[in-house]
């Protein structure tokens, strides 16, 4: 019995010593100095004409720890007074202690935080050092007054090109990827869409990317909407008119739908009985009705092919048009329209209507009283 007790005692001592050893193995991380962040300006007005140039330069000193550990650093931007509740991160290099952020990068950051353009806004910036996905250490906070610009959607959204024999008559150049209509990806997901105008029947075209022929794609020869990069054939537009194109670049599919637009409604001279059609202007690359009488007691819509399947519609705030002011308009088939809104004018008279469809990320409508 005594032997059994001694064995039991040895086991207990061993467990105690093991437990103490495990406690001794634990390492406590101490943040011995806070990270420090500085910027070369306290105010900046962002400018799209120099979008790729440096707008702000940040310099930092890394926080220190005992024992020494490496952290992943990033700049954290937030609207002043929000305690970074809606913030945007910009990764910092690990082998440097300075970074220049361009006008475009900063403008995109402000857009992600829903900061209005053309108004100075105090923005707070700090450096976030991440030990892991849940443990962060922060530097001092800087406040920089930033004025954003309304970005040109042509520079923001990815695009592919549609060179072809039709393009010269549409105001571009024939078979030139660098001077051809573009299809844009509003969701930035390699799915592109947009419009081209074809003057002559049986016109041909292909799809390119980066405004170059490298990696161009065409039909696989079955003309069933399948794209290939090797052994491809030109896509054909059998009829003259406007086409709505959709391309899944990674899925290698495309579609082309005829979409000739006109205006209709009880505010127009022909009421709901018939459309007044747009005419394509190659000089401006827009669709125009140079003069139409509109009443202020009715409404109007823009639809394709004398049918209701495809139509342009406004946001609720833009249902009443301000003469001469361009507004963003939306295509119902793209899932960007709520309800079934119509357009109207506040004053009766003759108007010029212009539809700019060159960028599917920002279809633009301008109605000007003559």
Report the CATH number at residue 221. 2.60.40.10
Question: Domain of 300: which CATH number?
Answer: 2.60.40
194-212 burial string, b = 16+ CB within 10 Å, else e? Answer: bbbbbbeeebbbbbbbeee
Q: What is the pLDDT of residues 144-157, one digit of tens each?
A: 999 999 888 898 89
Average the pLDDT over 231-245 and give the result.
97
Among candidate residues 151, 174, 197, the one where a domain is terminated: 151
Q: Are residues 244 and 176 in the same domain?
A: yes
For residue 277, how far is the Cα from the chain centroid? 31
Q: Are residues 247 and 275 in the same domain?
A: no
Mean pLDDT of 194-212: 97
C-beta separation of 263 from 292 below 8 A: yes
Domain boundary at 230, 258, 286, which?
Answer: 258
Residue (of 228, 146, 158) closest to 189 by Cα position: 158
- Of 235, 258, 281, the position where a domain reaches its end is 258
Domain that holds residue 208: 154-258
Q: Is residue 26 very low, low, confident or very high in pLDDT (cuts 50, 70, 90)?
A: low
Predicted pLDDT of residue 29: 80
Q: Do 146 and 158 belong together in one domain? A: no
Decide if 65 contacts 33 (C-beta within 8 A). Answer: no
pLDDT, residue 224, reads: 96
**How is residue 70 written in tokens?**
């490496």
Residue 4: the pLDDT is: 46
pLDDT at 16 over 60: no
Confidence of residue 20 (pLDDT cuts 50, 70, 90): very low
pLDDT tens for 70-95 read 789 999 999 999 999 999 999 999 88
DSSP-H helix ranges across 228-360: none
- Residue 350: pLDDT band (50, 70, 90) is very high
Return left, alpha or beta for 21; rule: phi > 0 is left, psi -120 to 50 is alpha, else beta.
Answer: alpha
Q: Is residue 7 included in any domain, yes or no?
A: no
DSSP string for 181-197: -EEE-TTSSSEEEEEEE
* Co-location of 281 and 327 in the same domain: yes
pLDDT of residue 13: 40
Length of the chain: 370
- Name the domain count of the chain: 3
Q: By percentage, how much of the chain surpasses pLDDT 70? A: 93
Q: Residue 25: its pLDDT value, please? A: 52
- Average pLDDT over the chain reads 91
Q: What is the spatial distance between Cα 167 and Cα 176, in angstroms, rounded to a whole number?
A: 8
User: Is residue 15 in some structural domain?
Assistant: no
Residue 4 lies in a domain: no
Residue 162 clears pLDDT 70, i.e. is over it = yes
Query: Rounded mean pLDDT of 226-244?
Result: 97
The rounded distance, in Å, linking the Cα atoms of 164 and 13 is: 86
Same domain, 165 and 208: yes
Beta bridge partners of 226: 253
34, 144: one domain: yes
For residues 169 and 78, state if they share a domain.
no
- pLDDT for the residue 27: 63
**In this predicted structure, what is the pLDDT of residue 2?**
42
Spell out a b/e string for 7-33, using b for 16 or more CB atoms within 10 Å of the CB, else e.
eeeeeeeeeeeeeeeeeeeeeeeeeee
Angular region, 316: left φ>0, alpha ψ -120 to 50, beta rest? alpha
């Amino acid at each position: 019995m005594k032997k059994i007790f001694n064995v039991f005692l040895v086991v207990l001592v061993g467990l105690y010593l093991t437990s103490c050893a495990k406690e001794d193995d634990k390492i406590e991380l101490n943040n011995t100095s806070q990270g420090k962040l500085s910027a070369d300006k306290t105010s900046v007005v962002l400018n799209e004409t120099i979008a790729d140039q440096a707008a702000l330069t940040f310099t930092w000193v890394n926080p220190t720890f005992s024992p020494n550990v490496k952290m992943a650093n990033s700049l954290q931007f937030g609207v002043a007074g929000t305690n970074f509740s809606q913030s945007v991160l910009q990764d910092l290099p690990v082998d440097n202690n300075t970074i220049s952020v361009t006008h475009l990068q900063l403008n995109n950051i402000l857009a992600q935080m829903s900061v209005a353009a053309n108004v100075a806004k105090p923005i707070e910036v700090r450096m976030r050092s991440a030990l892991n996905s849940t443990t962060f250490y922060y530097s001092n906070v800087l406040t920089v007054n930033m004025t954003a610009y309304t970005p040109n959607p042509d520079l923001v959204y990815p695009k592919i090109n549609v060179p072809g024999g039709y393009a010269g008559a549409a105001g571009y150049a024939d078979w030139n990827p660098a001077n051809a209509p573009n299809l844009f990806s509003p969701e930035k997901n390699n799915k592109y869409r947009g419009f081209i105008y074809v003057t002559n029947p049986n016109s041909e075209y292909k799809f390119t990317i980066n405004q170059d022929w490298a990696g161009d794609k065409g039909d696989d020869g079955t003309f069933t909407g399948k794209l290939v990069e090797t052994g491809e054939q030109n896509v054909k537009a059998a009829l003259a008119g406007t086409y709505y194109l959709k391309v899944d670049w990674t899925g290698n599919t495309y579609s082309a739908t005829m979409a000739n637009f006109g205006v209709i409604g009880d505010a127009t001279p022909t009421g709901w009985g018939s459309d007044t059609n747009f005419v394509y202007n190659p000089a401006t690359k827009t669709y125009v009705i140079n003069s139409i009488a509109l009443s202020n007691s009715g409404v109007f819509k823009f639809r394709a092919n004398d049918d209701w399947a495809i139509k342009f519609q406004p946001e609720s705030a833009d249902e009443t048009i301000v003469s001469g002011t361009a507004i963003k308009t939306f295509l119902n088939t793209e899932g960007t329209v709520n309800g079934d809104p119509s357009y109207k004018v506040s004053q009766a008279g003759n108007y010029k209507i212009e539809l700019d469809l060159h960028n599917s990320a920002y279809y633009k409508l301008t109605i000007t009283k003559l």
